Structure 1
Amino acid sequence: MPTTSIKDFIYTHPTEPPRRTRRAPRRILVQAWARSMAGDEGEVTVLGHWGSPFVTRVRLALRLKGVRYEYVEEDLRSKSDLLLRCNPVHRAVPVLIHRGRPVCESQAILQYVDEAFGPPTLLPADPHERAVARFWAAYFDDELGAPWDRALRAGTEEERAAWMKKVVDAADGLERGLGECTDGGRKGCFFGGESVGYVDVVVGGAVSYVHAVARVSGERLFQDEGRTPLLAAWLRRFGELDAAVELLQDVDRVVEYVRFIHTKNAAKATAN
């Protein structure tokens, strides 16, 4: 029997035990559906789940750009008709609905938000700098996020340690990327320089998980000032942003979430 990944858990569980987040009542979902499908000029709806870092990055982008939106918390064990109709392919959050049209997948949503709404912009104006930003955003998801997901769903400590080594190595690469984007910190502490940019939002959605992993397993992905000084400074500054204070998940809650996943997958590995 396959183990449960963090992404699978987010997509199939309404909340982390033992706490329970009440799903939006059907009346609210129907109203959201009606408003979003009406195609009103400024109507924006986000379908999400509290534990998803992918949803968090979308909400951060909207908050940074000053876009007002309605947020609908999905019970992903019993997905709403609105979610299934808006994302029939992956049937997953996040989904952004603007003027009655859905946009799916977090990085696609971020790029849509950047183009559809006013300043501040997230992606640079220069084509090369824009390509560099997209490269490092993809690097984070593919080289750091993917093995991180495997580490979180590992059934044994040995397997988890092997995957976490890949995560730590990828964090070293991300440190080099931050140095490239900021000229070694001389142009600012964010990937976007003095201001928050596209890569900051992509990485920022996972900040609560960075802190949670440090507490659960002791792995300091970004916090080690000797190994990743630029990321350590970035982590502090990003966490001080009003948008981050408002929208990042409570770390205690994420710690409980991660421990539940570890326990569940360890039990499955033992049973097998």
Structure 2
Amino acid sequence: MAEVKLLGFWYSPFSHRVEWALKIKGVKYEYIEEDRNSKSPLLLQSNPVHKKIPVLIHNGKPICESMVILEYIDETFEGPSILPKDPYDRALARFWVKFLDDKIAAMIKTFFRKGEEQEKGKEEVCEMLKVLDNELKDKKFFVGDKFGFADMAANLVGLWLGVFEEASGLVPLVTSEKFPNFCAWRDEYINCSQVKEYLPPRRDELVAFFQARARAAAKK
């Protein structure tokens, strides 16, 4: 039997993407929780370039970066397809994954900044939401009529964006008045059976964790 290990953080949307894919494929794996402040020798050895999670280790060989890992899982293990079969739909899925991942670093930092930096960050988040609001009109999934690759990447905005908002204590940026299509999609996304089963159940703990990070950032 193949040996599969996943190095991650319980509060990371990137770790949860990989867990999601493994569970959908029915792959048995060992989850290893890493310490953000004291990374293990296994993590540093497995990802010497970026020194970050998630890392999938399959038969002793490490694979890094969450969406690269998802493609590897899809190609390596039997089970439901994660990427669309149609080449054009695959290209669309990869496009939206890149869009989301390009925006997420700025989105996360926004909720832990102060003053002018925070205001500029909020503007960037709103621009991202405008794009998504336009794209998601009357759509249940990002690509086609099947849950898949881009939808896994969308956990960043489907769940974690709301967690960051709540944890930071800022006036909510995401409202149904401003972004009706996005909000309708988000509500459908979180409650969709294909999603709900795999999202982290401890939302209150996620909020508490990021509240602590927001307080620590405010003291700097």
Q: TM-score, normalised by structure 1?
A: 0.72
**Is the contact made by 1:49 and 1:75 (CA closer than 8 Å) also made in structure 2?**
yes
Structure with greater Cα Rg: 1
Within the candidate set 172, 176, 184, 1:219 is matched to 172
Q: Does 1:104 align with 2:64?
A: yes
Match of 1:43 in 2: 3
| 2:36 partner letter | L
Give the drift of 1:214.
Answer: 3.9
Could you tell me how far apart the structure 2 residues matched to 1:148 and 1:247 are?
Answer: 20
Taking only the aligned residue pairs, the percentage that are identical comes to: 36
Q: Any conservation in 1 of the 2:24–2:79 contact (CA below 8 Å)?
A: no
TM-aligned CA distance change 1:153 to 1:226, over 3 Å:
closer
- CA deviation digits over 1:168-220, x for unaligned, max 9? 210221233334xxxx43xxx11243331111001125543222234332325
Counterpart-to-counterpart distance in 1, 2:123 and 2:5? 38
- Do 1:152 and 1:258's aligned partners in 2 also have CA atoms closer than 8 Å? no
Q: Residues 69-116 of structure 1: CA distance to partner in whole angstroms, max 9, x if unpaired?
A: 111111122222211211111111100011221100111111111111
Alpha-carbon contact 1:46-1:95 (below 8 Å) kept? yes
Is the aligned partner of 1:256 residue 2:171?
no
Q: Which residue of 2 aligns with 1:25?
A: none
Where relative contact order (Cα < 8 A, 6+ residues apart) is larger, the structure is 1
C-alpha distance in 1, partners of 2:51/2:26?
Answer: 28
Aligned amino acid, residue 18 of structure 2: V
Report if the CA contact (8 A) 1:140-1:203 is conserved. yes
Q: Name structure 1 gaps, 5 residues minimum.
A: 1-40
Query: Relative to 1, partners in 2 of residues 1:110 and 1:139: Cα closer, same or farther, differing over 3 Å?
Result: same
- The 1:249/1:88 distance shift into structure 2, 3 A limit, reads farther
Alignment match, 2:12? 52
Aligned to 1:200: 151
Is 2:184 aligned against 1:233?
A: yes
Q: Please tell me the residue identity of whatever aligns with 1:171.
A: L
Q: Indicate yes or no: 2:148 matched with 1:150.
A: no
CA distance change for structure 1 residues 114 and 81 in 2, over 3 Å: closer, same or farther? Answer: same
Report the equivalent of 1:169: 127
Separation in structure 2 between the aligned mates of residue 225 and residue 125 of structure 1, nearest angstrom: 36
Task: Could you tell me which runs of 5 or more consecutive residues in structure 2 were left unpaired when the two chains were aligned.
Answer: none
Residues 47 and 74 in structure 1, CA contact (< 8 A), matched pair in contact too:
yes
Q: Distance in 2 between the 1:243 and 1:43 partners?
A: 26
Distance 1:197 1:227, change over 3 A: same
The answer on 1:209 being equivalent to 2:160 is: yes
